[in-house]
Structure 1
């Protein structure tokens, strides 16, 4: 693995993991009052577009990061819609 790819995968791992505490807290407490519906809607769409971009350009760190981030952000968004 080349250094730029390793850096990309590490960045993907760290930024993606940053969503885990919010997802876990939301699942555990069902409290979504502090979550912005607008922000998560736009963010989730943006992540989906980054995923498509990564796939089309074969930028695998981008695909890796955004596939997992899309799942986590979508989960939080669904929880926001369900428990508001």
Structure 2
């Protein structure tokens, strides 16, 4: 693994981890009042496209980051409907 791949993995970890506190807070408080469904839906579409791109170029950092971020975004969208 070269330094560029390591840089990509660190960046992927940080940007993906940024969603975890919001998911936890939403789950804990069961409050989705201030969560924008439109924003999360558009972001999910973009992240899924990045995931497809990552698979096509065989880039582990892109695949991991966008796969995990997709799961977190789907969870947020589910909670948006569940706790509405």
Name the CA distance, whole Å, in 2 between partners of 1:50 and 1:83.
Answer: 29
- 2:52 matches 1:52: yes
Let me know the Cα RMSD of the aligned residues: 0.7
Q: How does 1:1-84 map to 2 (within 5 A)?
A: 1-84=1-84
Task: Render the CA deviation track for 1:32-52: whole Å, top value 9, x for unaligned.
Answer: 011101000110111111101
Name the CA distance, whole Å, in 2 between partners of 1:50 and 1:44.
Answer: 10
Higher mean alpha-carbon deviation, 74-83 vs 11-20, is at: 74-83
Query: Scaled by the length of structure 2, what TM-score is found?
Result: 0.96
Structure 2 portions without partners, runs of 5+: none
What is the number of equivalent residue pairs in this alignment? 84
Name the CA distance, whole Å, in 1 between partners of 2:18 and 2:69.
Answer: 9
Structure 1 portions without partners, runs of 5+: none
Q: CA deviation at 1:60?
A: 1.3
